[in-house]
Structure 1
């Protein structure tokens, strides 16, 4: 009798970390890693709530008046949250077949950093504020809420930034040369008696002026210096728009290169179905109507 074919798990995370085959590890894995189940979704939502609560605890602990009145409550809450996150991290390592792969993954490192500062603070109290790194764990909300479209758009933005890297590097090099030259000119025109005490200080003024920040700690006093400053402000408006145009052009090119189909099975979440397909090739469920980008 032929061996029955098990349902194919198409999720890259399951393939990379090693989804358990049976036993308590499979049950824990389903709750912790699979947000498409009711238990997994509830777990992730509860985890996000604990992360938000722990960040609020750290913020309140930094307020001296609040810490003086509720210091004991804040300390107990922090240690309880750290214990919960530590147990969760250990369960993640225990329920996968390749725990080292998870420990080296992005989320594995973030999960470790979420609990490590509290333990290090026992020896170096100044490191306690680093527990705010837990905010990175909120990135799991993309998986919990199934915002696959936003994940795809994020990947497209990253690819556009990567494709624009050389052009933006050349642009930044030109801007650096401009601020160095004009900063040096302002040092000569205004001089130390007007606040331009050195060429680096003048370059700092040129950067704040070119970016239209204008702190006002250094200002030109002569008419010629003010004319140069006005020119730099006008040039700064145009310069700020250049990187945006470069990235926008690359994003447009990336969008044109994307496949025309955006169909995803709502049951098993498999992707890449042909436009004429009516049923999922993996689970047999009905597919949503065909749409073009």
Structure 2
């Protein structure tokens, strides 16, 4: 099913991860396009359309790409075909290793930067509010996910790690309620499934904590499943980072330790590698409206777009 050039270096189990399985049809997958790079956007630099340390990416309400460049401390907006449209700074009061950008249903861009507040920008790049509250005391904010029109989830490294479920009144730009999920250790990126479950990555940890895993949090705010550090007989996460969910409810995870992207079907019983080449430090990932996988490739200072499903039209 896959190009033999890419498979010749793989062992038997890794080959099996790419072989078409009839059960993938349940997830809308007809064929895995392994290492199918469509386009690379940007290069090293501080000019428009260039990046120093791209760490997060999201799709805006207009279908554009919003990329958080932690090296230049700004958000860049690119069209779906990679044309630069605009850029704006989110401020210098930042922790370079932390932070995310997401877009609300109303088209607002939310930017976390490792501190307590979340900055709210219009799609034109004007900062309109700093979202913070004593009810949502995220001291070391990292990843974010939009749960619905009035709530978001924020990962936080405070006290080892937790996830805040934050209710927001966007008319008043105010936090109205919070819930906290404990039991995590330095959670990084976060995504939400169609069933409103949360997917949270934990990176490379040392000491008494394991990390190197993906945790699934159910609607009752309970950690119901942990994937990793090992999955399968010969595979394991080293430093999982970005996570996203596609239109068919498959979820994808970037591993910046192994420089690859792994795809799981909705119940995680099937797994496939979709990118294993040309990445160095993949961090944030998302899927565009036309079904391309977008990856911020930190140490190549670029953003890469991959085709991974047969029915995607370019």
TM-score with structure 1 length normalisation?
0.24
Higher helix share: 1
Which one has a bigger Cα radius of gyration?
1
Q: Which has the higher strand share?
A: 2
If asked which structure has higher relative contact order (CA below 8 Å, sep 6+), I would say 2
Normalised by the size of structure 2, how large is the TM-score? 0.23
